[in-house]
Structure 1
Amino acid sequence: MQKTIDIVENKANFDELASYIEAQDASQGVLMQTLHKAQELFGYLPIEVQKFISEKTGIPMAEIYGVATFYTQFSLEPKGKHTVGVCMGTACYVKNAQLVLDKLASELKIPVGATTEDGLFTLEATRCLGCCGLAPVMMVGETVYGKVDPKDIPDIIKSYRE
C-alpha cells in the first residue's frame, strides 16, 4: 500500500530538495545523489517525490523508479521508528535465522518488508551483517542481537514498545 505525501505540509523539504538539485552539476551520478538526499529529507521516496525529481532534473520517471526500486537502500514506503533486520546470510541461515524471521513476523503481525500499523517497526530480511560468529543475528536499529533464539523475540520487541 503506497502512501501519498502532502506536498503543502512538506513544502520545506521540497524547497530544500529543489535547492539541492539546483546546486548539483548535471554530471553522471546526479540521480543517485539526489535520491539519497530525497530519502534523507522525506524518509522514503513516494511517487510525488519521484515526480518532483523528474520535473527538476529532466530524468524520465521510468529511470527514477527503476533506480529507486533496484537499490535496496531506497524505500518507496515509510519505514517504522525501529527497523528490525534479520540476517539471512549463509551462517545465520544454517543457524535457523528463518525461524527468527518467522517469529518476528508473527510477533509484529506483519510480513517481511512491511511496517506495523502503529509505525513502530519495519521488518526486513537482510544480507550478511558481518557477525557470522554470533549467528543467527538480528538488528534493531543499530543494536545487534546475536545467537538469537526465537523464544527471546517477544521480550526484545517489548523493550522497544516501552
Structure 2
Amino acid sequence: MAELSFTEEELKEIEQLKAKFPTAKAATLQVLWVAQRKYGHVEPEVQNLVAETLDVPKSHVHGVASFYTQYYKEEKGKFVLDVCTCLSCQLCGGYDILHHLEEKLGIEAGETTDDGMFSIQSVECLGACGYAPMLQVTNGVYVNNLTKEKVDTLIDNLKNGKMPEFESMAMPELEKRNQAASE
C-alpha cells in the first residue's frame, strides 16, 4: 500500500475537530470518520495514520476502530448494506431479507460482489425496532419496513446511482392518521 497521508484541507478539518474536545484522544472517533471517508475503510495502515496524526497510541485507535462496526476494517463495496438481524428484526423477517439479498447479489453476509458494488453485513440493532425489518445503506440512510420487493427496488436503484431518500420512520398508518387530522 502506498504511503498514506491527509491533505492540507483534511488536516485543517482534523484540527477543527480536535478543538472541540479536551484532548486529541477524544477526537479519535471523528478523525476515523475523516479517514474512512477518504479511504473507504480503516484498515491497520489507516488506523496508524490516524494515530500518528492525533499523536495517540496506535493501540487506542485500533481499540476504537475495532469496537464500532460502522468503521470498516477492510475494503467494502461502494454500497454497504447493513441488515439488522437483532431480535425485533428477526421476528419481522430480518433473516429472510438478509438471505434474499445474499441470493439476489450472489454473495454471503461479510462478502463483496465481484464488481465491488455491494457488500452485505448482518448487524446488531440499528435502533429502528418499530420499523423492522430494516437495513442501513453505507452508514447513512435507513430503509424500513422491508419486503423482498422493496429490497429488489433498492438494489435496482442503487445500481442506477439513485440513493434512497431519507425515509420517514413513522409507520404508514400513523402518517395517514396524522395527515387526515391536519386536513
**TM-score, scaled relative to structure 1:** 0.72
Q: Which of the pair has the greater relative contact order for Cα pairs under 8 Å at 6+ separation?
A: 1
Could you tell me whether the CA contact under 8 Å between 2:35 and 2:41 is conserved in 1?
A: yes
The CA distance in 2 between the partners of 1:158 and 1:127, in whole Å, is: 25
**CA offset at residue 92 of structure 1?**
1.9
Q: Which residue in 1 is equivalent to 2:100?
A: 103
**TM-score, scaled relative to structure 2:** 0.65
Task: State percent identity of aligned pairs.
Answer: 31
Describe how 1:27-66 pairs up with structure 2 within 5 A. Answer: 27=23, 28-66=25-63
Q: Which residue in 1 is equivalent to 2:76?
A: 79
1:146 is aligned with what amino acid? N
- Post-superposition Cα deviations, 1:50-106, rounded to whole Å, max 9, x if no partner, equal 222233333222221111110122111233222223222322211221122122122
Give the superposed CA RMSD: 3.0
Q: Which residue in 1 is equivalent to 2:147?
A: 148
Q: Which residue in 1 is equivalent to 2:179?
A: none
Describe how 1:89-128 pairs up with structure 2 within 5 A. Answer: 89-128=86-125
Tell me the SS of whatever aligns to 2:121.
strand
**CA offset at residue 35 of structure 1?**
1.4
2:119 is aligned with what amino acid? T
The CA distance in 1 between the partners of 2:112 and 2:9, in whole Å, is: 27
- Runs of 5+ unmatched residues, structure 2: 161-183
The CA distance in 1 between the partners of 2:122 and 2:60, in whole Å, is: 26
Q: Which residue in 2 is equivalent to 1:157?
A: 155
Could you tell me whether the CA contact under 8 Å between 1:97 and 1:137 is conserved in 2?
A: yes
**CA offset at residue 112 of structure 1?**
1.5
Aligned residues: 154
- Runs of 5+ unmatched residues, structure 1: none
Matched, 1:67 2:64: yes
Tell me the SS of whatever aligns to 2:120.
strand
